[in-house]
Amino acid sequence: MNNIPFVNLDRQYDALRSEINKAIQAVIDSKAFIQGPYVRAFEESFAAFCGCSYVIGCSNGTSALSLALEALGVGPGDEVITVAHTFAATANAIKHVGALPVFVDIEPNAYTMDPAALACALTPRTKAVLPVHLYGTPCDMVQIKSATSQRGIAILEDAAQAHGASLCGRPVGSFGDAATYSFYPGKNLGAYGDAGAIATNDDELARRLGKLRDHGRSSKYLHDIYGYNHRMDGIQGAVLSVKLKSLARWNARRRDLARRYDAAFADRKFKTILAPRDAVPVYHLYIVEVSNRDEVARKMEADGIATGVHYPVPLHRQESFRKDAGNLVLPTTERIAERILSLPICGELSDAEQDRVIESFLSVARG
């Protein structure tokens, strides 16, 4: 029997091979290697997909976050409230602009920012809130907005795992001032290298971001503001334009697979992701809680099935943030970090393969 990888990029490429090869060749023929028409075309089609006015392509999801924070005016002396249950990039970006990450707990159903914890963490120095639509599950943006709206605090949505997710009929990324995306190869929409983007409906912010990512340029040798080289490559724009056409279908397949997992685990009472009622999640990851994680992972590996843990060490317990977090205690974050296991869920996983995953999991897992 074949091994089941965590993400099957071979199968995805096989299905799109000739179109992707042609798109890459076109960039090489035109020499539009950095920004240019292929990046612009992707920005336009991704803006339409996200239902927002502007998309600013950039070099990766982390630079998207730090550019957006800087454009929103976040800097030294400011506090940015986020979660410790996320990939390190979320909080690294806060440090990149010189601000202080303030970690709050998650709520135990959806594993996303607890709006009540956010409300308790607000101080006069809070400049922005950075909720993460982790696993492709929309955060409770309605509560998050109402906790901050009186105080004029900026909201930046980290949608690196949530391309195409929506809440109350509105796409994620349209609730805050801006949202950032990562197109790291394993994400729901992945490039063939590093790439990222910022989405916003604010035209002033969009203009500023367009300059900030490219040396603060207003023209080739005129620089209005101090900026960076955080540009997107033409080849990434071209590959992303091809793959974007399949994204809605891949996301729908991920939701089907999630429903099948949910059904298989429900009668054994395993806790999985419970998205908010009005949410359409996109299941970048499918996680399930177990009490014997290492044993389950070992058994599944022996059965040829890749699993992961997203994420095993919360950010407030990482060496890199120890000084910022002190001896902060986040009970839900800490408890689930010991229990969560990620199962394969990419758009290319077949029903038969998923059945093998479920069988292997259930043979040892304890709730």
Residues of this chain that bind ligand PLP (CB under 6 A): 60-62, 86-87, 89-90, 132, 158, 160-161, 182, 184, 194, 196
Using the minimum distance from each CB to ligand PLP, give the nearer residue, 140 or 353. 140
CB of 135 to ligand PLP, least distance (A): 9
CB of 359 to ligand PLP, least distance (A): 29
CA distance 19 to 304: 31
CB of 180 to ligand PLP, least distance (A): 7
Using the minimum distance from each CB to ligand PLP, give the nearer residue, 161 or 360. 161
CB of 37 to ligand PLP, least distance (A): 23
Using the minimum distance from each CB to ligand PLP, give the nearer residue, 163 or 356. 163
DSSP class of 129: E
Strands 217-219 and 222-223, how do they pair? antiparallel
* H or E element at residue 63: helix 61-71
Using the minimum distance from each CB to ligand PLP, give the nearer residue, 83 or 258. 83
CB of 262 to ligand PLP, least distance (A): 22
Q: Tell the burial category of 340 from Cβ atoms under 10 Å away from its Cβ (0-12, 13-18, 19+).
A: buried
Q: What angle do CA 143, 148, 153 make, to 5 degrees?
A: 140
What token pair was written down for 260? 């099948």
Using the minimum distance from each CB to ligand PLP, give the nearer residue, 24 or 315. 315
* H or E element at residue 79: strand 79-83
Helices (H), 122-157: 141-148
CB of 90 to ligand PLP, least distance (A): 5
Using the minimum distance from each CB to ligand PLP, give the nearer residue, 90 or 241. 90
Contact between residue 348 and residue 295 where contact means Cβ atoms under 8 Å apart: no
What token pair was written down for 164? 């195409």
CA distance 79 to 94: 9
Please identify the residue of the shown chain whose CB is closest to the bound ligand PLP.
Answer: 61
Q: Which residues pair with 156 in a beta bridge?
A: 178
Give the number of other Cβ atoms within 10 Å of residue 250's Cβ.
18
CB of 58 to ligand PLP, least distance (A): 9
Using the minimum distance from each CB to ligand PLP, give the nearer residue, 58 or 206. 58
